[in-house]
């Protein structure tokens, strides 16, 4: 039992700064390419234009909060079509499952914003302070003019990147050129400045200082991914049966690992992959590049460290050849994820092209079910909710078809035409009347179909129409009880 005088061990470990060394190779090149692509997509997208006519915004990708719509090139999604967003989120989740079960944390290593921005921040750090050894020296040396100059310059560039990141984000929510002008003139909405300030600060802190701490402690994905990987998943592994005992190549009996620490020094997570698979490893492949470089120099076979599955490790230890990469990628689990992913994708595309251009909802008013007019006619009332998805005011007309004859009238409107303002939803009451003694007046229920036609505008006439099936309630078996 521990003495009460002895303080309990601290559960907190102070962060050891990591200074990844520069490395060249296949995986580093792939990471540079993906980083450039993703940063370009993020920063450039709000500036892309897409002509939707004079009354709709021409920004290709826009979350139009004011009118509660989302524009993505030729696609326009309304809040009630949230199933598209839900479908895309499910696809994103299944995509992550697919890639993780095939190749471990490749999302973390290559595409996660935390990785991409941290890579960018390290690039800036390296330009200003030098490679690993120079940065280590600077970190350990006392503050002087040179250290202050380099640090201030680095932080200033980091802040500018953070500002550009926050700035790009707010451009997704309103017309980018207009907002840019307003931001410069100081006339933008305070929400825009606040959002930019928060994103600038989080980018600066997460990319500049927290770095691998976010991946290890803050992000839930490393925990969730444990359920996605299995013994056939490709992850980063060290061939210890080939590399050990490590040490000088010139010494008889040593394995291929010369213990140069190159794989450790390039690792952005600060881990030694020779200790075995670890939760902190983001499978970025930089240690493979570093070790292959060393192996080439000492004239040993490449891939002492490489992507491999646990099943391959067992086979190789037994002297057999590893399975092909494709047999790890194409297996029932990954195929199932791929089929589900593609199925949802196809369903979303079909829903996108099959959705009606007019959105109408008809609700029969049930209290009372019907009204008997002074001439004996039976009247039902319906509430129509009609959404004008266009950027200009539009006229819509109403009609009804049925085996029985009905009279139609709109509350507060002459004729059967109604004007719905641009981007708004109008609620309109519709009266449907069956003449006294008619079959519809006498029957309990009669099917009828409402038709709504978009008349468009003079410049842009339309013939779009949709129908909505409902019922008309007559006197039927409750004759004499109503009213
Ligand atoms: S161990 Fe290798 S793959 Fe894993 S994070 Fe470090 S450098 Fe990347
Ligand atoms: S880079 Fe390769 S040789 Fe050098 S320590 Fe790492 S595993 Fe060993």
SS3 of 152-197: HHHHHHHHHHHHHHHHHHHHCCCCHHHHHHHHHHCCCCHHHHHHHH
Confidence of residue 483 (pLDDT cuts 50, 70, 90): very low
- Distance, CA 312 to ligand 1 centroid (Å)? 19
Distances (CA, A) of 82 to 49, 68, 78, 304, 468: 24, 11, 7, 49, 21
Share of the chain above pLDDT 90, in %: 70
Task: Quote the pLDDT of residue 392.
Answer: 80
CA diameter of the chain: 113
Task: Quote the pLDDT of residue 481.
Answer: 43
Nearest protein CA to atom 4 of ligand 2, as residue: 260
pLDDT exceeds 50 at position 482? no
Confidence of residue 136 (pLDDT cuts 50, 70, 90): very high
Confidence of residue 478 (pLDDT cuts 50, 70, 90): very low
pLDDT, mean of residues 384-409: 88
Does the beta carbon of 305 lie inside 6 Å of ligand 1?
Answer: no
Does the beta carbon of 273 lie inside 6 Å of ligand 2?
Answer: no
Confidence of residue 53 (pLDDT cuts 50, 70, 90): confident
Distances (CA, A) of 5 to 1, 9, 197, 419: 12, 12, 47, 82
Which mutation among 103, 114, 262, 287 tests ligand 1's pocket best, with the greatest number of atoms within 8 A of CB? 287
Q: Which atom of ligand 1 is nearest to the CA of 236?
A: 3
Which helix (H) or strand (E) element contains residue 335?
helix 332-354
pLDDT exceeds 80 at position 55? no
Confidence of residue 2 (pLDDT cuts 50, 70, 90): low
What average pLDDT does the chain have?
A: 91
How many C-beta neighbours within 10 Å does residue 423 have?
20
pTM equals 0.82
Q: Which of 80-89, 118-127, 270-279, 301-310 has the lowest mean pLDDT?
A: 80-89
Q: Which long-range contacts (CB under 8 A, 24 or more apart) does 137-146 make?
A: 139/17, 139/19
Q: How far apart are CA 117 and CA 137, in angstroms?
A: 24
Beta-ladder partners of 158: none
Q: How far apart are CA 299 and CA 306, in angstroms?
A: 17
Which residue carries 């491999």 as its tokens? Answer: 308
Confidence of residue 108 (pLDDT cuts 50, 70, 90): very high
Q: Name every residue whose Cβ is closer than 8 Å to that of residue 448 and which is 6 or more positions away in sequence.
A: 400, 401, 402, 404, 406, 432, 469, 470, 471, 472
Maximum mean pLDDT: which of 84-88, 210-214, 284-288? 284-288
**Is the model more confident about 336 or about 79?**
336
Walk me through the domains of the chain, giving residue ranges and CATH numbers: 26-227 (no CATH), 235-323 (no CATH), 359-478 (2.60.40.10)
Confidence of residue 212 (pLDDT cuts 50, 70, 90): very high
Q: Name every residue whose Cβ is closer than 8 Å to that of residue 39 and which is 6 or more positions away in sequence.
A: 116, 120
- Distance, CA 234 to ligand 1 centroid (Å)? 13
The vertex-425 CA angle with 169 and 385, nearest 5°, equals 135
Q: What is the pLDDT of residues 413-456, one digit of tens each?
A: 888 989 888 878 889 999 999 999 899 999 999 999 999 998 87
Q: Which atom of ligand 2 is nearest to the CA of 290?
A: 1
Q: Which atom of ligand 2 is nearest to the CA of 305?
A: 7
**Is the model more confident about 477 or about 403?**
403
Which residue carries 């909802």 as its tokens? Answer: 361
Share of the chain above pLDDT 70, in %: 98
- Cis-peptide, bond into residue 368, ω within 30° of zero: yes
b/e for 64-84, b at 16 or more Cβ within 10 A? beebebbbeeeebbbeebeeb
Q: Helix and strand tally (H, E) in the chain?
A: 17, 14
Q: Name every residue whose Cβ is closer than 8 Å to that of residue 253 and which is 6 or more positions away in sequence.
A: 245
Task: Quote the pLDDT of residue 480.
Answer: 45
**Is the model more confident about 16 or about 124?**
124
Q: What is the pLDDT of residues 310-330, one digit of tens each?
A: 999 999 999 898 888 899 999
Distances (CA, A) of 152 to 121, 145, 157: 14, 10, 9
Burial class (CB in 10 A: 0-12, 13-18, 19+), 318: exposed
pLDDT exceeds 70 at position 479? no
Which mutation among 267, 279, 285 tests ligand 1's pocket best, with the greatest number of atoms within 8 A of CB? 267
pLDDT exceeds 90 at position 360? no
Confidence of residue 285 (pLDDT cuts 50, 70, 90): very high
Using alpha carbons only, how large is the chain's radius of gyration in Å?
Answer: 33
């Amino acid at each position: 039992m521990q003495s009460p005088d002895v303080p309990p061990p601290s559960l907190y470990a102070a962060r050891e700064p990591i200074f990844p060394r520069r490395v060249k190779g296949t995986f580093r090149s792939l990471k540079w390419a993906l980083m450039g692509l993703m940063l370009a997509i993020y920063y450039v997208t709000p500036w892309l234009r897409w002509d939707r006519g004079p009354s709709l915004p021409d920004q290709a990708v826009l979350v139009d909060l004011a009118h509660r719509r989302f524009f993505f090139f030729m696609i326009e999604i309304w809040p009630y079509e949230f199933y598209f967003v839900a479908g895309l989120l499910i696809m994103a989740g299944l995509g992550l499952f697919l890639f993780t079960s095939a190749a471990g944390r490749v999302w973390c290593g290559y595409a996660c914003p935390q990785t991409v921005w941290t890579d960018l921040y390290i690039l800036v750090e390296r330009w200003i302070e030098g490679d690993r050894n120079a940065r280590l020296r600077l970190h350990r040396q006392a503050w002087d003019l040179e250290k202050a100059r380099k640090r201030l310059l680095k932080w200033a560039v980091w802040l500018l990147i953070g500002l550009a990141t926050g700035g790009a984000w707010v451009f997704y929510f309103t017309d980018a050129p207009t907002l840019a002008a307003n931001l410069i003139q100081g006339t933008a909405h305070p929400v825009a400045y606040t959002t930019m300030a928060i994103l600038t600060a989080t980018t600066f802190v997460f990319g500049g200082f927290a770095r691998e701490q976010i991946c290890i402690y803050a992000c839930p994905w490393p925990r969730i991914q444990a359920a996605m990987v299995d013994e056939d998943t490709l992850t980063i592994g060290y061939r210890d049966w080939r590399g050990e005992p490590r040490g000088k190549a010139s010494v008889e009996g040593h394995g291929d690992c010369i213990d140069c620490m190159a794989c450790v020094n390039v690792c952005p997570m600060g881990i030694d992959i020779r200790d075995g698979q670890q939760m902190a490893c983001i499978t970025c492949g930089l240690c493979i590049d570093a070790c292959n470089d060393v192996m080439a120099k000492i004239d040993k076979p490449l891939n002492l460290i490489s992507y491999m599955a646990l099943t391959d490790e067992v086979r190789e230890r037994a002297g057999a050849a590893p399975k092909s990469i494709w047999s790890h990628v194409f297996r029932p689990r990954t195929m199932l994820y791929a089929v589900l992913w593609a199925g949802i994708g196809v369903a979303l595309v079909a829903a996108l092209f099959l959705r009606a251009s007019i959105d109408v909802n008809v609700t029969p008013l049930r209290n009372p079910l019907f009204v008997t007019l002074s001439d004996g006619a039976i009247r039902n009332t319906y509430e129509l909710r009609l959404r004008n998805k266009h950027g200009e005011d539009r006229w819509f007309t109403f009609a009804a078809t049925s085996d029985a004859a009905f009279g139609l009238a709109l509350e507060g409107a002459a004729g059967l035409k109604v004007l719905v303002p641009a981007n708004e939803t109008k609620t309109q009451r519709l009266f449907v009347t069956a003449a006294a003694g008619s079959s519809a007046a006498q029957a309990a229920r009669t099917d009828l179909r409402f038709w709504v036609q978009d008349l468009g505008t003079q410049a842009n006439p339309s013939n779009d129409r949709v129908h909505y099936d409902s019922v008309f309630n007559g006197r039927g078996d409750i004759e004499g009880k109503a009213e």
